[in-house]
Amino acid sequence: MLTDLFSPSVQHLLDLAGIFVFAMSGALLAVRKNFDVFGMAVLAEVTALGGGVLRDLIIGAVPPAAFTDLGYFLTPLAAALIVVFLHPEVERITKAVGVFDAAGLGLFCVSGTVKAYGHGLGLTFAATLGMATAVGGGVLRDILAHEVPSLLRWDRDLYAVPAMVGAALAAVLLRFDALDGPTAAIPVVVAFVLRLLAMKYHWRAPRAWHRRSAAREAP
């Protein structure tokens, strides 16, 4: 379990940090979509907590952690409040927010894998659910904002793949009983670095071979 890898206080702080940056990305999209304050708060909450809630419901960890820890609920609201008043400044540091988002991606894909495995899932399914933990909130965010999920768009830098790699590495370490506090940093860092490289060099997944469709993605 996670408490075997990190102390509860450290794990809680890491979770809150990841939740905060995911919530900020949701609130920023709400601003771009001209949502009101309530819409911003909803999008922040869904982006930050959606993946974790999905994971907990699937593995039967109910009620989900998002509904038992007040900090998990209030942190996205704090991020939304910051964006309400400071969104021009936040927009100017979008790259910095992207770096923190990549860090949250790395953390959540590993923590999700470990929690799913601790609740009895096999390694393959634990890794799949770990990836879903990291990207699920973003998918729900885009659906609520009437966007094609970034996860499915060919013209977006790789996002799910780094999470998939990090979750798979965590599963391999679990398989050989080698996952502890120090080694857990390996898949986190790998997913983080892959996401940063994808952002820097605009790495994208290939499309269908000999694709004939002339359809183009909306901006």
Contacts of 104 (CB under 8 A, 6+ apart): 17, 18, 19, 21, 22, 134
Contacts of 119 (CB under 8 A, 6+ apart): 59, 60, 61
pLDDT digits (tens, 9 = 90+) for 118-171: 999 999 999 999 999 999 999 999 999 999 998 888 888 999 999 999 999 999
| 60 dihedral zone (left: phi>0; alpha: psi -120 to 50; beta) | left
> In angstroms, rounded to a whole number, what is the distance separating the alpha carbons of residues 104 and 106?
5
Contacts of 46 (CB under 8 A, 6+ apart): 26, 137, 140, 141, 144
Maximum distance among all Cα pairs of the chain, rounded to whole angstroms = 53
Instruction: Give the range among 8-12, 29-33, 112-116, 151-155 with minimum mean pLDDT.
Output: 8-12
What would the 3-class secondary structure string for 36-94 be? CHHHHHHHHHHHHHHHHHHHHHHHCCCCCHHHCCHHHHHHHHHHHHHHHHHHHHHHHCH
* N-terminal to C-terminal alpha carbon distance within the chain: 42
Is the model's pLDDT at 217 over the cut of 70?
Answer: no
Name the pLDDT band for 89 (thresholds 50, 70, 90). confident
Instruction: Give the range among 7-11, 59-63, 77-81, 146-150 with minimum mean pLDDT.
Output: 7-11
Return mean pLDDT, the chain: 88
Enter the DSSP assignment of 204: -
Is the model's pLDDT at 76 over the cut of 90?
Answer: yes
